[in-house]
Amino acid sequence: MRIILFILQKEFLQIFRNRAMLPIIFFVPIVQLLVLAYAATFEIKNVNLFVIDQDYSPSSRDLILKFKGSQFYTIVGYSEAFTAGDQALINNEADQILQIPADFEKKLETEKASSLQVTTNAINGSAASLMNAYALSIIMDYNTNVILETLGLRHPPDPISISSAFWYNPELDYITFMVPGILVLLVFIIGSFLSGMNVVREKEIGTIEQVNVTPIKKYQFIIGKLIPFWFIGMFELAFGLAVARLVFDIPILGSLGLIFFMAGVFLLVALGMGLFISTITSTQQQAMFITWFFMVVFILMSGLFTPVQSMPEWAQWLNKINPIAYFIEVMRMVMLKGSTFSDILTQFFSLLILGVLMNILAIWRYRKVV
């Protein structure tokens, strides 16, 4: 135990003297939380609309005013020719085109039916579906008003009173959804990036050979190398939770103790991964590249941005070895839903098994290189 304490003391001194690690420890978390929480969003808050009004009637003006009054739309141009709107779409000056035909109001009055055309830039499929939903919602609202006016009901009574409530995220705030996931990335970066780079750095500067010829046992060396980053990861999580609560007003409905307990198990997986990568690389650049490769794959498949259930079945099976996916589920369930330990047993045992397997593999591989 005394030997491990000396190694820990040496490691903490070495970490805080390493200028490459300090920015990752202190600067990256701030950037992740304060920048990604706002930037990493699929919300569409400003749709540029080009209007092709070939009718110039009170009805067409009423419809345009509904789009103009929406908080999601900005009208960037008017024209009678569709080619003008098409050119605006090609030049990325507009996201949607609303075309109102010349006989729009006439058909509403004589045939009680008319048509419109909405053209949406669908290069980004997710954004296009949201923009299309916004446009259809406004048109349906306008359509309802037309029907009521036709029936002479300008202020109809509501026979059924409808109220809605959204559990766990009442304001439908995307930041509330994103911040718990970003905290997981923060912890993973500390656990995998820094632990792997630290061991590899011993190879680069040649001190690994000196350690290997000392009486220090292998388990003492590994524990001394990994424990500092376990504590740093827990500190970063505490810092991130404080920022999430104070800056973004993210609720923490569940137990803080349960969050830190699961983070400790998750860090075992991240540290084991960092140690394993350090055994197959010779430079810090190689370690960072390999870690970044796996992290990108894990993030994209984790459910951070899109639901895991929407992925193909084979991808969902492959995702069972993704530790980030499990911990993101835990963070969102505990922070936003107030889930207890019994609700996250599947995630706990999955992370525990992954942590044990990853560390056994890393220690076995490490024995071969020393």
Which CATH number is 55's domain given? 3.40.1710.10
Q: Are residues 205 and 353 in the same domain?
A: yes
Query: For residues 200 and 210, what is the distance between their CA atoms, to the nearest angstrom?
Result: 14
According to DSSP, residue 36 is labeled: I
**Using CA atoms, how far apart are residues 134 and 47, in angstroms rounded to an integer?**
9
Q: Which of 121 and 9 is assigned the larger pLDDT?
A: 121
Average pLDDT over residues 124-150: 81
Whether residue 282 is found in the same domain as residue 222: yes
Q: Token digits for 193? A: 């990036």
Closest by CA to 347, choosing from 322, 317, 311, is 322
Residues 57 and 146 reside in one and the same domain: yes
- Residue 350 belongs to a domain: yes
Exposed/middle/buried for residue 173 (C-beta within 10 Å: 0-12, 13-18, 19+): middle
Higher-scoring residue by pLDDT: 154, 328 = 328
Q: Which pLDDT value is given to residue 113?
A: 78
Q: Helices 256-279 and 323-332: crossing angle, nearest 10°?
A: 170
CA 5, distance to chain mean position in Å, is 38
In a domain, 159, yes or no: no
Which pLDDT does position 212 carry in this prediction? 64
pLDDT at res. 150: 63
Q: With respect to residue 255, please indicate whether it lies within any of the assigned structural domains.
A: yes
**pLDDT tens, position by position, 41-78:** 666 778 899 999 888 888 888 889 988 888 889 899 99
What pLDDT score was predicted for residue 269? 93
Secondary structure (DSSP) of 67-92? HHTSTTEEEEEEES-HHHHHHHHHTT
Whether residues 18 and 99 fall in one domain? no
- Looking at the structure, tell me whether residues 184 and 303 fall in a common domain: yes
The predicted pLDDT at position 357 comes to 92
Same structural domain, 211 and 291? yes
Q: How far apart are the first and last CA of the chain?
A: 22
**Which band of pLDDT confidence, cut at 50, 70 and 90, is reported for residue 9?**
confident
**Pairing status of strand 47-53 against strand 117-120:** unpaired
Q: Encode burial over 217-235: b for 16+ CB neighbours within 10 A, e otherwise.
A: eeebbbebbbbbbbebbbe
Count of structural domains within the chain: 2
370 pLDDT more than 60: no
Residues 143 and 27 in one domain: no
Instruction: Indicate if 115 and 31 belong to the same structural domain.
Output: no
Cα–Cα distance measured from residue 113 to residue 42, given in angstroms and rounded to the nearest whole number: 35
Answer yes or no: is 287 within a domain: yes
Tell me, yes or no, whether 16 and 51 share the same domain: no
Q: Is residue 294 part of a domain?
A: yes
Which residue among 118, 150, 182 closes a domain? Answer: 150
How far apart are alpha carbons 76 and 91 in whole angstroms? 13
Q: 294: helix, coil or strand?
A: helix
What single DSSP character describes residue 319? G
Query: What distances in angstroms separate CA 11 from CA 6, 203, 282, one per listed residue?
Result: 9, 15, 20
Give the C-alpha separation, 348 to 331, whole Å: 12
| 198 and 245 in a common domain | yes
How far is 367 from 186, CA to CA, in rounded Å?
30
Determine the residue type at 241. L
Rg of the chain in Å (alpha carbons): 28
Instruction: Give the pLDDT of residue 368.
Output: 43
The parent domain of residue 18 ranges over: 2-41+170-369
pLDDT at 353 over 90: yes
pLDDT at 157 over 70: no
Q: Do 216 and 301 sit in the same domain of this protein? A: yes
In a domain, 163, yes or no: no
Residues 328 and 249 in one domain: yes
Encoded tokens for 270: 């991240």
Q: pLDDT per residue over 201-257, tens digit each? A: 777 776 666 666 666 777 777 787 788 888 888 988 998 899 888 888 888 999 999
Of all residues in the chain, the percent with pLDDT exceeding 70 is 88
